[in-house]
Each structure stands twice: as C-alpha cells, then as structure tokens.
Amino acid sequence: DAGVTQSPTHLIKTRGQQVTLRCSPKSGHDTVSWYQQALGQGPQFIFQYYEEEERQRGNFPDRFSGHQFPNYSSELNVNALLLGDSALYLCASSSEDRGFINEQFFGPGTRLTVL
Amino acid sequence: DAKTTQPNSMESNEEEPVHLPCNHSTISGTDYIHWYRQLPSQGPEYVIHGLTSNVNNRMASLAIAEDRKSSTLILHRATLRDAAVYYCIPENYGGSQGNLIFGKGTKLSVKP
C-alpha cells in the first residue's frame, strides 16, 4: 500500500501565476482533505471532497479550488498566486466507512514557493 | 470549535516516559479528542483518540480527565524517533468526517 501520494514534491511559481497540485488517496479511502501549512504553524484546513463534491470548506478565498475524480484522486488549484500562498500543502485521505473515527492519513506534502 | 492550550515545547530523555498535556476547557460532550504528531519533513500522522475513557494503543496512551477539560498523551518510553510536534485536536462528531483544526502543538525534543 503506497499510502497517500502527492505531486510534485516542490514547486516554484511567480506572483499571479496559477498552480495545480495533485493527490492520490490511500487505497480504500474515498474522502480527500487539503490543508495549508505555513512555516512554524499547524496545518489549516482548506476544503474536503467526498463523492466528487466539495463537502466542507475552511476560511480560504475562491482563488483556492479543487476537484475530485471518480477514482477518488484530487487536485488543488490556486489562481492568482500571492507571496503569502507560499507554504506546504498537505493532502489527507480518510474513509467514510470508518464512521466516527476521523483518522486521516496525510501525504508528505507539496512545498510551494511563490516569488 | 473547542480551543486548546499546549506547551510550546518539551524535552525528554531517551527511554524515559513523556507526558504531553493539553487543556481543552471548552470541549463539548460529543467531541472526540484526537492526537496527531508531525515528524520533521513529513505530514502529520494519527496517534490516538478517545472520548471519555483512557485509551491505549501500540504508539501511546491517552489519559482523559474526568471533566474532559484536559487530556494527557503518554509516551511510555521515548525514542529519538518520537521527536516531533504533537497536536491535540478536539473534534465534533457530526456524523461525517470532519476537518481537523490544528493549533501550534507541542514540539517534543528527545535527548539521547
């Protein structure tokens, strides 16, 4: 089992550009959540996808959007990049079947640097 | 959402027990208490969770105060690999997978 995988590992963009990050969930998982982690801070919830729909959203602007595919993999898109978007972007997967246990499995993250 | 208070940092010696405290005085009766940890250069990983009773698993033990306003994660014998940031996360069970609200956590250093 490969666990949660994310690509790319690192990415450098300039202000105003757009970026797409990708995530493959752990085998058997159907729910994908995205988090942003600034340096020295805990991860902040961006949004969660289940059954190809955005189910929950944190306090992030519309520049942040996502998608979930029928195979449960997911993409995070960020438009009009700002310097403050520089962070580690984490993807986490979980299974709806686990019921009340919110055990999320995290990938290693994508380090985004905006210049 | 319940607010949490954790020490910014703690130190331990290798092979000694470590008690990581967390205050969550605003927790609701249905909030599970989750603990995650984040090793350097990795994503967070689940450690343990509980509701009212103390819990044990292969990684750690979780002691929950009777009034549920605080909990303590116990590592029985710290190893160098346990050096990480530990997050205490009360979570409201709403019948579906919720999001995790991370604070700044406690950075644990383990000395050989």
Q: Read out DSSP for A8-28?
A: -SEEEE-TT--EEEEEEPPTT
Query: Residue B64: which H helix or E strand, with range?
Result: strand B61-64
Q: Which runs of E-coded beta strand occur in A1-115?
A: 5-7, 10-13, 19-24, 31-37, 44-50, 53-57, 64-68, 74-78, 87-94, 105-106, 110-114
Tokens 């609701």 belong to: B28
- Predicted local distance difference test score (pLDDT) of residue B31: 82
Looking at chain A, the whole-number percentage of residues with pLDDT higher than 70 is 94
3-state secondary structure (DSSP) of residue A96: helix
Longest dimension (CA), chain A: 42
Phi–psi pair at A83, nearest 5 degrees: -55, -35
3-state secondary structure (DSSP) of residue B81: helix
Q: How far is B7 from chain A (nearest CA, A)?
A: 14
Q: How many CB pairs under 8 A join A and B?
A: 68
Q: Which of A28, A5, A29 is nearest to A106 (CA)?
A: A5
- Predicted local distance difference test score (pLDDT) of residue B94: 46
Cα torsion B4, B5, B7, B12 to 10°: value is: -50
Chain A CA closest to residue B48? A103
The length of chain B is 112
- Predicted local distance difference test score (pLDDT) of residue A102: 64
Among the partner-chain residues B42, B96, B103, the one whose CB lies closest to the CB of A42 is B103
- Predicted local distance difference test score (pLDDT) of residue B95: 43
Segments of chain B with pLDDT less than 50:
93-96
Q: How far apart are CA B63 and CA B3, in angstroms?
A: 18
DSSP character string of A40-51: TS--EEEEEEET
Q: What is the pLDDT of residues A71-114, one digit of tens each?
A: 999 999 999 999 999 999 999 998 876 655 568 899 999 999 99
Q: Which of A80, A78, A95 is nearest to A28 (CA)?
A: A95
Inspect the interface and report whether the beta carbons of B32 and A102 lie closer than 8 Å: yes
What value does the mean pLDDT of chain A take?
Answer: 93
Phi–psi pair at A84, nearest 5 degrees: -70, -5
CB-CB neighbors (< 8 A) of A101 in chain B? 32, 49
Query: Residue B34: which H helix or E strand, with range?
Result: strand B31-38
Mean pLDDT to the nearest integer, A24-53: 93
Among the partner-chain residues A40, A43, A48, the one whose CB lies closest to the CB of B102 is A43
- Predicted local distance difference test score (pLDDT) of residue B97: 54
